[in-house]
Amino acid sequence: MTKPCLQLPVRLRRLRRDAAVREMLRETVLTPAQLIQPVFVTEGSEQEPIASLPGIHRIPLCQIAEYCGHLRTLGLRGIALFPKISSEVKTADGREALNPDTLVVRATRAIKERLSGLLVFNDIALDPYTTHGHDGILTGDGADVDNDGTVAILAEMAVLHAQAGADFVAPSDMMDGRVRAIREALDSAGHSGTGIMAYSAKFASAFYGPFREAVGSLRQPGAPRFSKASYQLAPGNRREALREAELDEAEGADIVMVKPAGFYLDIIRDLRERTELPVAAYQVSGEYAQIHAAAERGWLELEAVRDESLLAIRRAGADLILTYFAEAVGGALNR
């Protein structure tokens, strides 16, 4: 019997036949410089584990610079800072957000005083500071979030963070007009060098639960039913998401973001094709938690699924990924 040999003009397996050719022809790669680690900071004196985010801790202010130094040595170039403030200082109007010495401002200063080469992205929204957990102040009847009143506070908050040394402010509130107001406030305060990474296509997702545990913005018992649907996007709305990003770009955003990431790859791809701005994607807390939960049961292999999930987000067109896996991937890529 002669060896069968099909007369095929094209054999795609030639380009996959060994590790060298596969590595040479990889179209998408993960590098630590494109990953941003979300970092939770707390007033406490010990690191606090977060049950629904295995491996992630709230970091005490006194250790924050050291921890960020460690991330920097792994090759990470950026962190996104989020405060867990004591519930005693939360109010309905979230006024602690404008305290010039609030926790996240002190953390930013501590990092910037002791570390260079690590970009600090500060979230701009009121949810860590309000008793109701909404991203802004409420209207008089308490039925909705007051758009324009919230925007005025966010613009002031952004200036405070720029003064503390934030490289980028990242409005995650989804109010109308906030990017323009923040850009104007930063420029008039002499912070024209501070960038804006806009949470542009931010969906009203059910995947934010573990994050809300981490910053303590979960609904308090007895509080009204919690929905952010009057400002965050409906998960099925693609065109509206693209309009949000277009508007943020016109208002002066330097980077636009899609959030969550893994279930919104089509939006990432659409944006990548429509804008020349860098596109970021936020692989959110629930995306991280579900991978960990399955891995804990032995149902999925943690590292393989982690890397595949991130690679898919990059392939869809994200230049940057905010991910709770950043530290772990940085560690693995350095080994």
Using the rule CB under 6 A, give the single segment among 70-78, 119-127, 155-163, 265-273 that binds ligand PBG: 119-127
Task: Classify the C-alpha dihedral 182-183-187-191 as positive or negative.
Answer: positive
Query: Can you say whether the dihedral through the CA atoms of 292, 135, 130, 169 is positive or negative?
Result: positive
Shorter beta-carbon distance to ligand PBG: residue 212 or 243: 212
Q: Which amino acid is at 299?
A: W
Q: Does 327 bind ligand PBG (CB under 6 A)?
A: no
Shortest Å distance, C-beta 308 to ligand PBG? 19
One character per residue 3-42, x = contact with ligand PBG (rule: CB under 6 A): ----------------------------------------
Alpha helical stretches, state H, 201-259 = 209-215, 238-251
Token pair for residue 98?
Answer: 């404008």
Residues 6+ apart with CB under 8 A from 83: 40, 41, 42, 102, 103, 104, 107, 128, 215
Beta-strand runs (E) in the chain: 35-42, 48-49, 57-60, 78-84, 119-124, 168-171, 195-202, 255-259, 279-283, 320-323
Q: Among residues 65 and 124, whose Cβ is nearest to ligand PBG?
A: 124
Which sequence positions are flagged as catalytic?
Answer: 202, 259
Please, what is the angle between helix 64-73 and helix 326-334, to 10°? 40
State which of residues 135, 244, 248, 249 lies at the interface with ligand PBG (CB under 6 A).
135
Nearest distance, CB of residue 303 and ligand PBG, angstroms: 20
Closest contact distance (angstroms) between CB of 171 and ligand PBG is 9
Segment near ligand PBG (CB under 6 A), from 25-33, 111-119, 123-131, 234-242?
A: 123-131
What is the spatial distance between Cα 243 and Cα 152, in angstroms, rounded to a whole number? 23
Out of 108, 147, 200, 285, point to the residue binding ligand PBG (CB under 6 A).
Answer: 285
Toward ligand PBG, which CB reaches closer, 67 or 207? Answer: 207
Compute the least distance from the CB of residue 324 to ligand PBG, in Å: 7
The Cα 307–Cα 282 span in angstroms is 15
Closest CA to 199 of 218, 214, 182: 182
Query: Do 67 and 59 contact (CB within 8 A), yes or no?
Result: yes
CB of 37 or CB of 194, closer to ligand PBG: 37
CB contact at 8 A, 168 and 160 = no
Give the pairing of strands 35-42 and 255-259: unpaired
Contact with ligand PBG (CB under 6 A): which of 30, 122, 127, 310? Answer: 127
284 is a contact residue toward ligand PBG (CB under 6 A): yes
Q: Can residue 172 be called a binding residue for ligand PBG (CB under 6 A)?
A: yes
Q: How far apart are CA 39 and CA 42, in angstroms?
A: 10
- Least CB distance to ligand PBG at residue 172 (A): 4
Cβ proximity to ligand PBG: between 135 and 249 the closer is: 135
**Is residue 129 close enough to count as binding ligand PBG by CB under 6 A?**
no
The burial class, CB within 10 Å (0-12 / 13-18 / 19+), for 29 is: exposed
Among 41, 71, 85, 125, binds ligand PBG (CB under 6 A): 125
Residue 208, interface with ligand PBG (CB under 6 A)? yes
Task: Give the residue with the Cβ less far from ligand PBG, 67 or 324.
Answer: 324
| One residue of 67, 129, 211, 325 binding ligand PBG per CB under 6 A | 211
135 versus 327: smaller Cβ distance to ligand PBG:
135
Binding residues (CB under 6 A) for ligand PBG: these are 123, 125, 127, 135, 172, 208, 211-212, 228, 284-285
